[in-house]
Amino acid sequence: MENIFLFGLFVDSFPKLLSRLHITLYIVAVALLFGMLLGTYIAVVRLHKVPILSQLAIAYVSFVRGIPILVLLYIVYIGLPLVVGWFGVNINRWDTMIFVMIAYIINTSAFLSEIIRSAVAGVELGQTEAAYSVGMTRWQAFYRIIAPQAIQIAMPALGNTIVSLLKDTSLAYTLGVIDLVGVIKAISSNTYRSLEAYAAAAIIFFVLSSLLEQGFKWIENKLGVTKKITIIGR
């Protein structure tokens, strides 16, 4: 009878999986960086209710948040070359990683824009008015009054989003990216077994997610997020 689980293969899977961990972390880092930039712009457009752009931003956020990341990956991978092809630009030779990054940036920007918008809107308007009354400029009021409180409000949701992003990167392999999860296909083709490799991947993702969660809890404690939430709750 075939063994259900080979512990030796489980242990041997870790070095192979960890050898591609940097690809997974690279996707997370790039998606966060550019997603934060795009998400901030979208949030500013919505907060200031810029005509036309505000309505487009609302539609963009609603659409992106309403579809699975796997569907978005294929929309970008298949649809983007067709769209830009109408303008005579051929991007079919682009590396698959570029399409993957675009999809994750789009997805992340939509969620981060809502976090930023909600956090800034969560700061009492009276505090901004008080800042103006003592002679602060709009930038000074934002930098000294609004931003510190908005960061406190946003931190728990930001932590959850980053942890979710880390786990969502496991779908990048569907487009052929050899990341942490993509290695499992290679292991399976060589050993004709995959359970052990998936179990090892689960342990790695669990450890990374736990470290991120603990890191954000530490940051929240340093920023006094718990106290801030209590005050708002009243």
Going residue by residue through the chain, which has 234 residues, state the pLDDT in tens, using 9 for 90 and above.
Answer: 467 888 999 999 999 999 999 999 999 999 999 999 999 999 999 998 999 999 999 999 999 999 999 999 999 999 999 999 998 889 988 999 999 999 999 999 999 999 999 999 888 877 777 777 777 877 778 778 888 888 888 999 999 999 999 999 999 999 988 888 889 988 888 888 889 999 999 999 999 999 999 999 998 888 776 444 333 332
Helix (H) or strand (E) holding 170: none
Write b or e for each residue in 67-89: b if 16 or more Cβ atoms lie within 10 A of its Cβ, otherwise e.
Answer: eebeebbeebbeebbeeeeeeee
The domains found in the chain, sorted by start residue, are 7-233 (1.10.3720.10)
